[in-house]
Amino acid sequence: MLEISGLGKEYGSGSARHTALREVTFDVRANELISVVGPSGCGKTTLLKCISGLLKPTTGTVTMHGRPVNGPPPGMAVVFQDYSRSLYPWMTVSENVAFPLHGQSRSTGEIATLVADSLQAVGLANAADKHPYELSGGMQQRAAIARAVAFQPEIMLMDEPFASVDAQTREDLEDLVLAIRAEFGMTVVVVTHDIDEAVYLGDRVVVLSSAPTVVRADLSVDLPTPRNQLDTKSLNAFATTRGRVYRLVKSTEPVDTVETA
């Protein structure tokens, strides 16, 4: 469904030139959930912006269903880390969720149904008429996820979506993503700095090197589904995979070949 090939991104020019991404290559199959992790400052957000078409790469290509991504493509939604800046404070929750749908050829009734269904899916059916400032941080991020779900994307990209909430809320939102993915059958790419989260959520974990960034490893996650916070994280397989990913993230060795499992 999604192919990232030889992706590179440079900023600046001359002596001020900085290479954020050198040559990043991996693919995403339909209905997969891919976690992307790497050292701090390795360019994870830059990578996601290039994949989404919000940022033009310097080299390489991104294709969705074989078609080049040169701007935000139909069928793709992005959930950002800073939920407080992605929701319009003067709109209610339902108005925020409905906002991107008004640019499509949809009837008022269809939009209302999509909004209601997405709010129900994220547990905010009773908060439809509230404003973002009346909600907790976790509820605001649920509203941002509901907006993405209502858009009915084939692929949802998430940029460290739970970094700004407390640990318990984070776990609740992780389980929410798994539930939404199962209910709506969408493909998900999650960029995160949290290794436990990457392993818990992912069908695969793509590990990036430090900048200038390449793919260090592309690992399958062999954990049973459905997953839950207590049982899954108590498995020896979870601990083993987490340890392996941690060592790869911390590695400073040159990347000769991409490690796979």
Tokens coding 172: 């609740």
**Helix, strand, coil percentages in the chain from 3-state DSSP, rounded to 5:** 40, 25, 35
Q: Are strands 187-191 and 33-37 parallel, antiparallel or unpaired?
A: parallel
Domains of the chain, each with CATH number or no CATH: 1-75+191-261 (3.40.50.300)
Cross-strand pairs, 214: 23
| Region label for 231, one of left (φ > 0), alpha (ψ between -120 and 50) or beta (otherwise) | alpha
Phi, psi at 120, each rounded to 5°:
-65, -40
Q: Which amino acid is at 158?
A: M
Q: Which amino acid is at 76?
A: M
Q: How many CA atoms lie within 13 A of 188 on its CB side?
A: 31
Tokens coding 82: 């800073």
Q: Is the pTM of this model over 0.85?
A: yes
Q: What is the distance between the alpha carbons of residues 23 and 222, in angstroms, rounded to a whole number?
A: 27
Q: What is the DSSP string of 35-72?
A: EEE-STTSSHHHHHHHHHTSS--SEEEEEETTEE-SS-
How confident is the prediction along the chain (261 residues), in pLDDT tens digits per residue? 999 999 999 998 877 888 899 999 999 999 999 999 999 889 999 999 999 999 999 999 999 999 999 999 989 999 988 777 789 999 999 999 999 898 788 889 999 999 999 999 999 999 999 999 999 999 999 999 999 999 899 999 999 988 888 889 999 999 999 999 999 999 999 999 999 999 999 999 999 999 889 999 999 999 999 999 999 999 999 999 999 999 999 999 999 899 997
Report the pLDDT value the prediction gives residue 102, as an integer from 0 to 100: 86
Report the pLDDT value the prediction gives residue 139, as an integer from 0 to 100: 94
Q: Are 10 and 200 in contact (CB under 8 A)?
A: no
Report the pLDDT value the prediction gives residue 17, as an integer from 0 to 100: 83
Q: What is the distance between the alpha carbons of residues 212 and 41, in angstroms, rounded to a whole number?
A: 10
Q: What is the distance between the alpha carbons of residues 184 and 108, in angstroms, rounded to a whole number?
A: 22
Q: What is the distance between the alpha carbons of residues 176 and 182, in angstroms, rounded to a whole number?
A: 10
Q: Are 46 and 22 in contact (CB under 8 A)?
A: no
Q: Which amino acid is at 198?
A: A
Residue 79 CA, distance from chain mean position: 7
Tokens coding 64: 């969705």
Report the pLDDT value the prediction gives residue 16, as an integer from 0 to 100: 80
